[in-house]
A and B are shown apart, each in its own frame.
Chain A
């Protein structure tokens, strides 16, 4: 059964985001940014959002291997560490 159009939740998986600050980052912190997975996300989509290129998804996977066993399977609400961003 499909929901009527007005009841369907919009897809925000193509949202591109970023951040910057005039404040310095904490010392000795390799990861200073996190991203929360939304419905429709994949690691390559997140890589595209964060780095501007989908091909860096492996960097995100490597930084989150403690919680992502299968890179094709991530879940909305997961908070991923974003390396080098």
Chain B
């Protein structure tokens, strides 16, 4: 009697698994990564700088000179309005007022600021007993660097 050999069950299982694997659908490839835009460089804040210095006899609420002047009377209060722009954690503005050819010191003051954009700073001087007639000069400095000078005159 001829024996019919049958495949052992283990082999059949392996074949079935191989067939199943062959028929199994390949998973879709992962989507390509979304391109990340290159980091946009945050522009550096503009550095502090003085843009204008005006002199006059009065200022408005915005600290700007109402009417620029270069000649003053003995009893006038003299205002200097300093417009600036830019950002700085700390900047020292100085107003130095001098008189005459020799540059006699009339007044010198500083003010520390932390500007965050356009700003206006005013300095003012007055002399209750009256300004001597003559020529005067205002020197404006930012962090010890002279950034502007203005000359003016007092007439009797």
**Chain A residues packing against B (C-beta within 8 Å):** 9-10, 12, 14-27, 29, 31-36, 38-39, 76-77, 79
Contact = CB atoms under 8 A, between A and B. Distances in A.
Question: Helix, strand, loop or mixed for chain B's interface?
Answer: strand
Interface stretch (B12-20, B28-36, B38-46, B114-122): B114-122
Given A15-B125, A34-B109, A38-B107, 5 more contacts: A10-B104, A23-B84, A23-B113, A32-B111, A79-B110
B99 A10 contact: yes
A12 B105 contact: yes
B111 A17 contact: no
7 contacts: A9-B104, A12-B99, A14-B127, A18-B124, A19-B124, A22-B121, A32-B111
Q: How large is the interface on B (under 10, 10 to 19, 20 to 34, 35 or more residues)?
A: 35 or more
Contact of A76 (B95, B105, B114, B115): B105
Contacts of A24: 113-116
B147 to A, nearest CB: 15
Contacts of B102: 9
A38 B105 CA distance: 7
A16 B126 contact: yes
Nearest to A50: B109
The 5 A-B pairs of least Cβ separation, nearest first, read A36-B108, A23-B119, A21-B121, A32-B112, A23-B115
B109 A36 contact: yes
A15 B134 CA distance: 16
A64 to B, nearest CB: 14
B132 interface: yes
B155 interface: no
Contacts of B129: 14
A25 B90 CA distance: 8
A16 B14 CA distance: 104
Residue in B95, B110, B124 with the greatest tally of chain A CB atoms within 10 Å = B110
